[in-house]
Amino acid sequence: MSATTSSVVGNLQHSLSVERASEFTEEDLHALCEAADAAIIDGGGFGWVNPPGRMALERYFRGVLLVPERELFLARLDGIIVGSAQLVRPPRNNEAQAFTATLMHSFIAPYARGFGLARRLTLRVEEAARALGYQVLNLDVRETQEAAIALYEGLGYIRWGVHPAYARVGGRTIRGIHYFKLLQPGGRIA
C-alpha cells in the first residue's frame, strides 16, 4: 500500500510516497543504494560509518527482503527512492516480547530532507506495526542525530534510557538514546 501525496516547496510541486517493498527493480535498488550512501556520508548511516560499497549495499537490501521478521519501507520523492526504514518483528521463540516490534535503520538522504518524508516513513511503519497487532514500537538513535531525536519526540516516543557506549564514530564514543511508543488507542497495553 502506498499513499502518494504532494508537497509544494518554493514554487515546485513534489510527489511524496511511502510503500512497503516486496521486490526491487534495478533502478529502485540503484536509487536506494545512492540514498544510503548519502545518508552514511552525512552521519546517519544506520550502523555504517563509511559507505561499504555498492555490492555490499545491494546484498544488504536484497537480504532484508528475505528475512521473514523484517519489512522494508521505502520513501519516494518524485517517484525516486530517497530513504527507507525497517519494521523488525521479534523472533517466534521470543514469546515474552511478542507484543513489541522495533523500528530500525531509518534514514532519508540529505538531498531529500525537508519534505516531511521521515515523518511519513515513521508513521507508515507505526501503521504497519499496529495492523500486525503490535502494542509497542521500540527504536534507538545516536545522540548526534538531533533531527531524528526531534522527530521521534515530536511523534510521542518516550525516551527511556541512554546507552553511554552505543557507537564509535571517528574515534569517538557516542551515546545512544532509546525510545518506545505505545501503539494502541489510549496508549495502553492490552
Q: For residues 114 and 9, is the Cβ–Cβ distance under 8 A?
A: yes
Show the cell assigned to 148.
Answer: 531524528
The number of beta carbons lying within 10 Å of the beta carbon of residue 59 is 12
What is the rounded CA–CA span in Å between residue 190 and residue 183?
Answer: 11
Topology, domain 11-187: Aminopeptidase (3.40.630)
Length of the chain: 190
d(C-alpha 84, C-alpha 105), whole Å: 7
pLDDT tens, position by position, for the chain (190 residues)? 456 666 655 557 899 999 999 999 999 999 999 999 999 999 876 789 999 999 999 999 999 999 999 999 999 999 999 999 999 999 989 999 999 999 999 999 999 999 999 999 999 999 999 999 999 999 999 999 999 999 999 999 999 999 999 999 989 999 999 999 999 877 667 6
DSSP symbol at 62: H
What local confidence, expressed as pLDDT, does residue 13 receive?
86
Sign of the C-alpha dihedral computed for residues 175, 42, 23 and 123 taken in this order = positive
User: pLDDT digits over 83-108, tens only?
Assistant: 999 999 999 899 999 999 999 999 99
The label of the residue with cell 504532494 reads: 6
pLDDT of residue 46: 74
Question: Which pLDDT value is given to residue 6?
Answer: 60
The pTM assigned to this predicted structure is 0.92
Sequence letter at residue 43: G
- Residue-level pLDDT at 1: 44
